[in-house]
Homo-oligomer: A and B are copies of this chain.
């Protein structure tokens, strides 16, 4: 199947092919404001986002889709007439030359990096935000973005010294969530704290050495609702909310730190509280992706229950 008036691209050494392949480097991505999405699942989500933006009168994010004849048949959306101007058929050799993966499953897309500023984010009155502080592994970053999406988070913020979330490996591990959750990049925690405090967004540090226990906070969150909903509910005694500081139901930005070293002293100092995911076994620590999942779900659960 062929699209538009284009011929099949067959020269792996063509300039356009090299241009696409160069998006595997952070420098080129940053310079051009573009990145590479690979495989049907990511490209389907990219096209959804693209059409949603266009429907709202804004520029789309998909600049071009390159697919082999097998790839074209695999993705229904590519057969949609709207997409035809975006699609170029390529030979398998060209696709391999463009892609970061050995098996890009028949297609890659060049997408515009879409990010929001902290100010735009705060204006949307977010309830739940994940902040990556010097997270280095692209797989971890992608996993956390996917968990943030599942937990219904309003944004992912990536501080300046973290891995590039538009890195091909990170994009792959988000499994499309990169096109669901707004992303802010290149931010410092100091800037965040200056904006979040006045906006009523508490900053919680996910910290294995934290003095607050996440499970205690979750229990407190349920207890508070009971106390509010019924005067006859038993008063189980003091708790985290008594000091008026940490209530999981409140708008929250969670800070997640570097894989080896955790959060820095400065990041901890800028937080409203340090919260530990309890370790019930012999494990000395949790993978940052695992810890982030537990923390984000705890907040999502408390917030959604509070609004019932």
List residues of A whose CB falls within 8 A of some B CB.
Answer: 143, 146-153, 175-177, 180-181, 215, 218-219, 222, 226, 229-230, 232-234, 277, 279-284, 286-287, 289-290, 293-294, 297, 300-301, 304-305
Contact = CB atoms under 8 A, between A and B. Distances in A.
Contact of A280 (B143, B146, B150): B150
A180 B281 contact: yes
A150 B281 contact: yes
A297 B293 CA distance: 11
Nearest to A298: B297
Contacts of A222: 219, 222
Contacts of A282: 149, 177, 180-181
Given A219-B222, A234-B233, A280 B304 contact: yes
A290 B143 contact: yes
Nearest to A284: B176
A234 B219 CA distance: 16
B150 A279 contact: yes
Nearest to A279: B150
A286 B180 contact: no
Contacts of A289: 143, 289-290
A150 B283 contact: yes
A101 to B, nearest CB: 16
Given A233-B232, A286-B146, A151 B181 contact: no
A219 B301 CA distance: 9
A254 to B, nearest CB: 15
